[in-house]
Chains A and B, each alone.
Chain A
Amino acid sequence: MNQIRNPLLQETLFDEEADDFAAPVSPLPRRVTPLEGIAYLLLVLGSGGFLASILGWIGGGWGSFLFVFGSLTAGGVLLPWARYGNTSPGVKNDRTFFRGISTRGITGWAAGVLLTGFYVVLYWRSDLLEGGIRLVDPLALVLTGEEAGKWFLYGFLYSLAVLLFGFRMILRWRGNPYQILRTFSVIFFQLGLAFLLPHLLALFEQPEFYFTYFWPLKTEYLWPSGFRWLASHPGGLGVFMAFWGLAMTFLATPVLTYFFGKRWYCSWVCGCGGLAETMGDPWRHLSNKSDAVWRIERISIYTILAVVTAGTAVLWINSAMEGGLLGTLSQGFAEWYGFLIGSLFAGVIGVGFYPLMGPRVWCRFGCPMAAILGLLQVKASRFRIETNGGQCMSCGNCSTYCEMGIDVRSYAQKGDPILRASCVGCGLCSSVCPRGVLRLGGRK
């Protein structure tokens, strides 16, 4: 009886390699619920208001500030609430590969151009943003006692994005304590230590200092000029900061990485990681998984680490020789590094290309801090992703959702533990695995 052949089974012609091969045309189109409608409306109002202020159509003051950012916040909270608030815990990746915004479709490209354009304007034509900068003046006056500059606006938007997309992440992963805690952590470090505290420090006439960034990501902290500037600041706090920077780089980094792996920083503390894990989450599957790109990654990230390390050493030697080695060239090196790596790579490409290449382009190919943490992770850490015996069925969810482009499955299907320099320990592979194969943990 089992031999009866359903004639339909083998006669459908198709090209399985086509991107939309299985995309079902739903008979019941997804309707926008009233709650989602309100959320969209608020988001349009908020971003329209922001645009209007940039164009100078609306003036500054608390009224405009609250209107623009109140609408954006309300919309940013309401939208994920409408989508995920009422669902049961579990993986929510439905239709990820059918939507243009998440698969480099027209909307995806538009988002990429918009983000990249924002960074280009921010770095090189910030005069165009004048109206937007004035919009955040009220908050800047409270926090810093001064009018806002472009970096205040940037820091504010950045933190707002981490907060709102973090809220989305927490709702999406309800029932997953690892993802929830991790998201709370990046929100806390971005809002508290990378946004509020530095401004408050400035308010109390202390150096604007970021306790969550260290050399070699924040190169200035261990460059002679920056280090001396901190150490010579009147009052004890500057000296503390200078030594904090030293201790974090040379003491905390190896010790914490030994126990927890690179993730203690990259997906729990770091601001770049924080944005990638929240605002970048909808695009994490876009990272390239090929061996060829893995090779490029290793060349590129270690080259930048070598440049930073050599550069730092030369700057100190030059400084000790009182400019005898480089003369005014040292200033030139600092400026060029800041332009090429700090602005162009970390900013424009790093965030601007989220919708095109995934959220970890900077972390994967550029960040010298990630390079050091990665070396420590492989050479001197207990951290591993453990695999659970023979349970893997090679489905590919882990590799697909790895933002660092690690082919997790190639290890899991062999039952091998996973140890890769680039792994930031976001835990998404373990979260999306339908067979409970992967677990972030340590070597016993």
Chain B
Amino acid sequence: MHAVILGNGVSGATAALRLRELRPEWRITMVSGETTYPYSRPALMYVFMGHMRYRDTKPWPDSLWADRRIELLRGWVSEIDTKERSLKFEDGNRLGYDRLLLATGSRPNLFGWPGQELKGVQGLYSLQDLALLRENVKRARRAVVCGGGLIGIELAEMLHGLGLPVTILAREEWYWGNILPREEGRFVSRMIVEEGFDLRLSTGLSEILGDGEGRVRGVRTSEDEVLDCQLVGLTAGVSPNLAALEGSGIPTRRGILVDRSLRTEVEGVFAAGDCAEIETGGDRNLLQQVWYTGKAQGRVAAASLAGIEERYEPGIWFNSAKFLGLEYQVYGEVPNRPGEGRRHLYWEDFEARRAFRVVEEGGAVCGMDILGGRLRHRVCESWIREGRRLEEVLEGLGEACFDPEFFPRPVERIRKEIREVAG
């Protein structure tokens, strides 16, 4: 039996390692055009900024793959033939499979902006993008980053670190407005401005302007303003990477459609991670594109490939991020807009660079987030799962603190001030 895993991101690599445990005798091949060995994609920015080398971002030692008899194949796949059960590579080679896991990840969204094909315009997702960025900054004197999200702020920080003046265009009223509630978004926006970035909120990109020789010379914003720049970062989110799937007959919508066990409708073909769209039977399919969901889906996919019945059950949502020097964590449901029946309780101290929010629904806490602090995952998760009351959460706040020793812990203040607001 030959299992082929297309993509060596965290989903593909996790699946390969677990499949080896489940099926010691199978042949396993992991294919990627991007790199030979898996690396940590979220660490791209640190490689560019000189905090680490590429090799330091590999979660597993190179020798592991040979030890586990997982073959690593470098190449871009251009076609999937599900009848013949084979992959065709750009260089014309073919590779047969018995079971196929698609873990192709995402690609940066390009919304058909005029000029998006110009030189000096790029996204930030792959190692190739990083190599391209290195070339593109050589001529840059100013940069514009379009898209106010996590990759946007990372790219902006990378460029700013080189001494480039950076303008950030964000369509929302506050930074990361499709995720963060207003207060956190304003908090982060204010900090971005104070750190010396030119942040344009409620401003989109209308057009990328060329210099007549195929290079970017500026952008036109939705406010009809022209900004000179030699580098444009397109960071308006990502979408499932379906490039190799055309003509394969594997059903897709936004992503590759799979059931709870990550099986596609095509016999022997599975999908996991960023590229997978899990049909829930409900009104919204599940499309999860963060590191730990990719890891969890990779584990389930390995079981499915091996013919073991397992289902992907997303646990209580959590995520974390960093905006420049500011850490952010969220657990459970913290919607970006106030909704019916939900009570939001928010506390902040901008000078101390700290904010905290609890969301309550029907008397039970359903989510919380924190800026400039660290919360203990295990504790927050159990509170939300058990539907603890607000008062219990406030009382136990000290227990949820994960800040390092000697760091200020304004637990008393947060408790008191949130109680005052809650009444």
Q: Using a CB–CB distance below 8 Å, which chain A residues touch chain B?
A: 1-10, 12, 14, 16-17, 19, 21-28, 30, 88-91, 93-99, 175-178, 181, 290-291, 386, 388-391, 393-397, 399-400, 409, 413, 427, 430-432, 434-436, 439-441
Contact = CB atoms under 8 A, between A and B. Distances in A.
B6 interface: no
A23 B325 CA distance: 22
A388 B374 contact: yes
B134 A436 contact: no
B94 to A, nearest CB: 20
A85 B295 CA distance: 41
B48 to A, nearest CB: 5
A161 to B, nearest CB: 25
Nearest to A291: B61
Given A12-B131, A22-B131, A396-B56, A2 B42 contact: no
B243 A5 contact: yes
Given A16-B127, A24-B48, A97-B50, A435 B327 contact: yes
B325 A88 contact: yes
Contacts of B329: 391, 436
Contacts of B325: 88-91, 175
A93 B50 contact: yes
A6 B117 contact: yes
B130 A400 contact: no
Given A26-B162, A97-B50, A427 B57 contact: no
A19 B47 CA distance: 10
Contacts, number: 201
B135 interface: yes
Contacts of B260: none
B133 interface: yes
Given A4-B110, A390-B318, A439 B50 contact: no
B50 A21 contact: no
A152 to B, nearest CB: 35
Contacts of A93: 46, 49-51
Given A23-B134, A394-B40, A91 B51 contact: yes
B222 interface: no
A19 B130 CA distance: 14
A12 B138 CA distance: 15
A435 B76 contact: no
Contacts of A432: 51
A391 B321 CA distance: 10
Contact of A27 (B49, B58, B164): B164
B73 interface: no
Contact of A400 (B56, B121, B131, B135): B56
Nearest to B401: A439
25 contacts: A3-B243, A16-B35, A16-B127, A17-B54, A26-B162, A27-B141, A27-B164, A91-B325, A93-B49, A93-B51, A94-B51, A97-B52, A177-B405, A388-B374, A388-B377, A390-B377, A391-B318, A393-B40, A393-B42, A396-B56, A396-B57, A400-B56, A409-B59, A427-B404, A436-B402
A240 B104 CA distance: 70
Contacts of A30: 163
A149 to B, nearest CB: 39
A117 B262 CA distance: 62
Interface string B114-129: 0011010111001111
A399 B58 CA distance: 11
Q: Which of A389, A391, A394, A434 has the most CB of B within 10 A?
A: A394
